Every structure is written in C-alpha cells, then in structure tokens.
Amino acid sequence: MALLKGLTSFNQLCSELLYHQSYRRFCHIKSISKIPQPNTLSVFRSEIGSESFGLINDLLPGKFFSMIPLPPVAVAVPDSTDLEASCSGHGKKMFLPKKM
C-alpha cells in the first residue's frame, strides 16, 4: 500500500488506513481496531531485513500491473506559436513623461 500510494512513512500509512475504508478493504483489514501500529510495521521490516524489503518493493509493482493492464497513453503538446494573441480591449497605454 505504501508503495502504490507513494507514502513516505509507516505513520502516514497507518493514518491513511485509519481514515480510508477503501484502503482497509484493499489490505483486507476488516476493522479499525485491526490496523497495525507503525512500530509493528517497523519491526516487520527489521525482521525481514532491508534487502528483502527492497526486493518486495521491486516485485510488487510488476505483479500488480501484470494483473491489471494499463491503458495505452498518448500525450499531445499543442504548439500555439502561430495563433494571434487575444488583445481586444487591452491595448498598450502610452505613458508620457511628467513635466517638471
């Protein structure tokens, strides 16, 4: 969940799980009382080691996106250099120097 949502800490992940029912459903957490504490997640990370945790983070997106196909994406950037600027009613003001 932290990887998919771009959350930066376990504290933030736990608070998101607390407030969003859809996140709890995604994680198969049935009740608010079952949300893990941030220190529980930290202990899990320390138990499996940072290298294993990194491998999990590398494998999850591939598994996730192999089950859910991504739609093709096209990006268009318009070039407006040939268009005239709309200046009606906003003409330049002439500033005359003040006489001393």
Q: What secondary structure, in 3-state letters, does 34-80 show?
A: HCCCHHHHHHHHHHHCHHHHHHHHHHHHHHHHHHCCCCCCCCCCCCC
Helices (H) and strands (E) in the chain, counts: 5, 0
Q: What is the mean pLDDT of residues 84-100?
A: 65
Tell me what pLDDT residue 96 has. Answer: 64
Q: What is the mean pLDDT of residues 17-24?
A: 88
Per-residue pLDDT at 28 exceeds 80: yes
Tell me what pLDDT residue 80 has. Answer: 61
Q: What is the mean pLDDT of residues 28-33?
A: 88
**Tokens linked to 1:** 């969940």
Tell me what pLDDT residue 8 has. Answer: 80
Q: What is the mean pLDDT of residues 55-59?
A: 81
**Tokens linked to 96:** 């005359």
**Tokens linked to 61:** 């997106």
